[in-house]
C-alpha cells in the first residue's frame, strides 16, 4: 500500500510539475511586464515628469513647439521671444556669432531687461564671436572652461519660457545647417531645472571684466 502511494505521488509530480513551472514562469513574466508598462507609461503618453519623487502624482503642463533649419526661420523665432521678454534673459551659448540675436539682446537691455550670458571659453575666441560686443555693452558675461566643452544652447526668458535644441546662435545654424529649436512654455516648473543648471555653470565659469564701452 505504501509503495503504491509513493508511485502515485511520483506520477502526479511527473504529470503536473512541468505545468506548474510553466504557469509560475508565465505569472512571473506577466508581473514583470505589467510593472515595466506602468513605469514606462508616462514616457509613452508624452508626460514630462517633474522629479522621481513626484512622478507618481504630478506632471508639468507645457506648450512645446519645434522649428527646423534650414527650412524654417528659427532665428526670427528666437529674436521674437527676446523682443517679448520683460524682466530677464539667461543665455548659455556654445557658439554665439549671430548679430540679429545680439541686436535683440541690446534692445532688451535698453528697455530694462536683465541679461546674463555664459559662453564656452574656447568658442568665445572665434572670429565674429559676440563675446567682445557683450563686454562693450556691459552685459554680464561668464566664460566656462571648467568642462571640455560648454555645449549648452539655452535661453531662459522671464523664468517662464525655455528655448533649447541643437541650434547654435550663429549664421550657419540659421541658414546652412540642419538644426532644431525646441521652445517650451510651461512657467516656473519647466524653467527652474534650467535656471538651476545655469547657476551651476555660472558658478564654475569665470566672470569677464567689462571692457570700456557704452554705459
Going from N- to C-terminal start, the domains of the chain cover 1-46, 63-207
Check 122, 158, 171, 202 and give the catalytic one.
158
Active site residue 122: no
Active site residue 158: yes
Strands 179-185 and 141-144, bridge-based pairing: unpaired
Is it true that domain 63-207 has CATH number 3.30.870.10?
A: yes
- Report the candidate in 58, 84, 70 with the shortest Cα–Cα distance to residue 155: 84
Check 153, 171, 202, 214 and give the catalytic one.
153
Q: What is the pTM for the complete model shown? A: 0.72
Active site residue 151: yes
CA angle at 45 for the pair 152 and 55, rounded to the nearest 5°:
70
Per-residue pLDDT of the chain (215 residues; tens, 9 = 90+): 555 655 655 664 565 455 444 555 555 545 655 555 555 454 444 444 445 544 444 677 789 999 999 999 999 999 999 999 999 999 999 999 999 999 999 999 999 999 999 999 999 999 999 999 999 999 999 999 999 999 999 999 999 999 999 999 999 999 999 999 999 998 999 999 999 999 999 999 999 987 655 44
Strands 88-93 and 114-120, bridge-based pairing: parallel
Amino acid at each position: 500500500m505504501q509503495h503504491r502511494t509513493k508511485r502515485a505521488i511520483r506520477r502526479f509530480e511527473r504529470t503536473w510539475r512541468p505545468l506548474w513551472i510553466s504557469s509560475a514562469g508565465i505569472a512571473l513574466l506577466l508581473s514583470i511586464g505589467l510593472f515595466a508598462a506602468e513605469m514606462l507609461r508616462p514616457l509613452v503618453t508624452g508626460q514630462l515628469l517633474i522629479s522621481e519623487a513626484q512622478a507618481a502624482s504630478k506632471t508639468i503642463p507645457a506648450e512645446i513647439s519645434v522649428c527646423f533649419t534650414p527650412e524654417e526661420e528659427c532665428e526670427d523665432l528666437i529674436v521674437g521671444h527676446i523682443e517679448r521678454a520683460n524682466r530677464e534673459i539667461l543665455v548659455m551659448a556654445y557658439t554665439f556669432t549671430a548679430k540679429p540675436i545680439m541686436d535683440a539682446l541690446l534692445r532688451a537691455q535698453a528697455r530694462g531687461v536683465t541679461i546674463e550670458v555664459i559662453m564656452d571659453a574656447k568658442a568665445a575666441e572665434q572670429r565674429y564671436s559676440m563675446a567682445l560686443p557683450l563686454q562693450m555693452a556691459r552685459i554680464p558675461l561668464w566664460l566656462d572652461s571648467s568642462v571640455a566643452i560648454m555645449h549648452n544652447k539655452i535661453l531662459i526668458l522671464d523664468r517662464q519660457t525655455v528655448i533649447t535644441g541643437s541650434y547654435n546662435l550663429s549664421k550657419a545654424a540659421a541658414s546652412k545647417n540642419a538644426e532644431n529649436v525646441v521652445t517650451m512654455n510651461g512657467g516656473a516648473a519647466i524653467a527652474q531645472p534650467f535656471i538651476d543648471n545655469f547657476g551651476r555653470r555660472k558658478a564654475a565659469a569665470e566672470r569677464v571684466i567689462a571692457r570700456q564701452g557704452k554705459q
